[in-house]
Structure 1
């Protein structure tokens, strides 16, 4: 599904990613873990064509390095950024409408699916998105991305600042995506959620992958956890 080889990324003269190699298979949840500044969000931006980079990025057997972000999105890659990027003056329903490609025909997801998954959004569908709580905004940006019917979704820190009950809801939501055959690259700091729902775990440090294995492998590797994850 997604195959990245020897990826290097730059912000001007600053060399941020140093030869990142990773894969995400169809219907798989892969957790990308690491401390702030380790390169996780830059990896997501590089995949989506938002930063200067070199190497190889293939999605569904197509080279996407050098393509524009909207071209990458139309191939079936969805990105939920850490800052959420909602349209604050538009209603919840209008934000979801903007996520659709074309007329939304043939999509695996529609308004009814979003409102069934997050009833709170249905209650507030005519409310301006800018007045929603942090948790509601997170629900909205997740759903807006799904309205584009992606085959793989990159989610950057979806539980940041959320109450525990909403965190559990997000975890359930991600498992529903997997059940529908959607691949997930989950960028997360909270080990509990990442380890409980992921098929594989990758750990980043200083712009490189320093660990790859199952969640169980990571649980049994206290050295890696202490050096690259624990505060």
Structure 2
């Protein structure tokens, strides 16, 4: 499988703080890959660096082209979507207006329509005329996921989509991720909930202290108690 996103020897910095130490990672077309690890090990920094939001050196290639050093909007227009942990919405605009703002390609040729979003998350259709700032945290997460998808990306980097969500919201988010795979959208998922990540991923990476400490299949990670104890379990 050729790599859609290929990260090689990536180093990233916040000021003088060296956060990523030579990370290698790849995601193939249509593949769900989870990036696991405790808080503070550099997972969010990795996706921000790939999206042009953190100073970095090394190589980040997307669809065969080097994107390191490009602006975030330039990267997005190439088909790399990013859903930040902060669930950024336009609070004074309605749900539907937020979704329509996400469109980056010709609406007639994109793979996704408003109806697709509403079928995945019926609650958004119920709230389509409500200002996004009035939504619950779970509803805002649904909206952020769908707004990014309206841009018709080929790969989505999603940072902690289930963080802080009620259990009844977590299941629809997991179904959303599987729906992406069914339509050929690749996903790099940063996730704390090990069960979800192992259930939906083809491969997993584990990060520790700014470096990759494990790469393998979900089954290999299930069987490797040493890695789970040292790098994942609290």
Which residue among 53, 56, 59 is the counterpart of 2:56?
Answer: 53
The aligned runs of 1:160-171 (5 Å cut-off) are: 160-171=163-174
SS at match of 1:108: coil
Rounded Cα–Cα distance in structure 2 between residues aligned with 1:206 and 1:102: 38
Residue 102 of structure 1 deviates from its aligned partner by 4.6
Give CA-to-partner distance per residue, 1:164-217, whole Å, 9 cap, x none.
121111111100100000000000000010010000010000100000000000
1:180 match? 183
Return the offset for 1:110: 1.0
Equivalent residues in 2 for 1:98-177, closer than 5 Å: 98-177=101-180
Which residue number corresponds to residue 9 of structure 1? 12
Q: CA deviation at 1:117?
A: 1.1
Residues matched between the structures, number: 231
**What RMSD over aligned residues (CA atoms) do the two structures have, in Å?**
0.7
CA deviation after TM superposition for structure 1 residue 104, in Å? 2.0
Per-residue deviation at 1:163?
1.4
Which string of whole-angstrom CA distances, capped at 9 and with x for unpartnered residues, describes residues 9-47 of structure 1? 001111000000000000100000000001000001001
Q: Unpaired segments of 5 or more residues in structure 2?
A: none
Aligned pairs for 1:20-99 (under 5 A) are 20-99=23-102
Give the Cα–Cα distance (whole angstroms) in 2 for the partners of residues 196 and 51 of structure 1. Answer: 30
2:105 touches 2:152 (CA, 8 Å); kept in 1?
no
1:158 is paired with a residue of what secondary structure?
coil
Q: Distance in 2 between matches of 1:170 and 1:59?
A: 25
Q: Normalization by structure 1: what TM-score?
A: 0.99
Measured in 2, the distance between the counterparts of 1:149 and 1:72 equals: 13
CA distance in 2 between partners of 1:131 and 1:103 (Å): 30
Residues of 1 paired with 2:228 and 2:30: CA distance? 26
User: How big is each residue's C-alpha offset from its partner over 1:27-82, in whole Å with a ceiling of 9 and x where there is no partner?
Assistant: 10000000000100000100100010000000000000111101100000000000
Q: Which runs of 4+ in 1 moved over 4 A?
A: none
